[in-house]
Amino acid sequence: MGVVIRNIQRVEAPIAGAFAERRIGVATAHEAQGRIGLMASYMRPIYRGAHVAGAAITVSVPPGDNWMIHVAAEQCSAGDVLVVAPTSPSDNGYFGELLARSLLERDVRGLIIDAGVRDIRDLTEIQFPVWSKCVSAQGTVKETLGDVNTPIICAGALVQPGDLILADDDGVCVVPRARAASVLNASIAREEKEARTRERLQAGELGLDIYDMRSKLAAKGLRYLDQAE
């Protein structure tokens, strides 16, 4: 404990930028990378409609102690997403509007925290998006060290510093840095395929036929019966 790793390698900015511009959804990217890296479903945005894609600056914090978030702020640069996980479960409000001002100054995209956040009215007003376990006004102390930019587990997902963080109304997904380009391409391909499926569904075709499910269902033994009177 007590280590800050500087000058980490980040997911390439144009790749993160492409995720952001195309608003690649968390569900899409999660599927595209083989259904790994999703954070737990209790991670919810403090307001609806935000979408972020950026490089993870990771922070491991003690329960009820946000000192290291101040340390981490200095390590953030434009396009980063701060990802904070306590070493044991906490619902303290580690983060509020003042820290958000500081991060906005550095063009940080948002915060992912497996704990509480506060000042959510202000954060909404200044449009600093946060995905958190809960909302809590409970403050923290500044007494114990943690780590910045070491691997952490946040809400059940492993996050390496520099990984791509993708977050929207559906939740938060981690894309390993080395795979970001291929996941981007797979996501785009997936969206294009879905666009074609969408057209067919809107034309009244059923998924049963589009995905050719009927014979497989029959092979499994699906039976159709009419309701008895």
H/E run at residue 183: helix 180-202
Nearer of residues 10 and 109 to a second copy, judged by Cβ:
10
Give the binding range for a second copy (CB under 8 A) out of 14-22, 179-187, 217-225.
Answer: 217-225
Cβ 165 vs Cβ 79: under 8 Å: no
- Binding to a second copy, residues 185-214 (CB under 8 A): 194, 197-198, 201-202, 204, 206-208, 211, 213
Structure tokens at 225: 């019966």
Structure tokens at 45: 């945005």
Give the binding range for a second copy (CB under 8 A) out of 14-22, 120-128, 181-189.
Answer: 120-128
- Binding to a second copy, residues 46-85 (CB under 8 A): 48-49, 62-65, 67, 70-71, 73-74
Using CB under 8 A as the binding rule, whether residue 143 contacts a second copy is answered as yes
In 3D space, the residue among 145, 132, 149 whose CA is nearest the CA of residue 90 turns out to be 132
Using CB under 8 A as the binding rule, whether residue 215 contacts a second copy is answered as no
- Binding to a second copy, residues 88-117 (CB under 8 A): 88-93, 96-99, 101-102, 105, 116
Give the binding range for a second copy (CB under 8 A) out of 13-21, 42-50, 174-182, 183-191.
Answer: 42-50
| Interatomic CA distance for residues 167 and 82, integer angstroms | 12
Work out the burial of residue 138: count CB atoms within 10 Å of its CB; fewer than 13 is exposed, 13-18 middle, 19 or more buried: middle
3-state secondary structure of 78: coil
Using CB under 8 A as the binding rule, whether residue 149 contacts a second copy is answered as yes
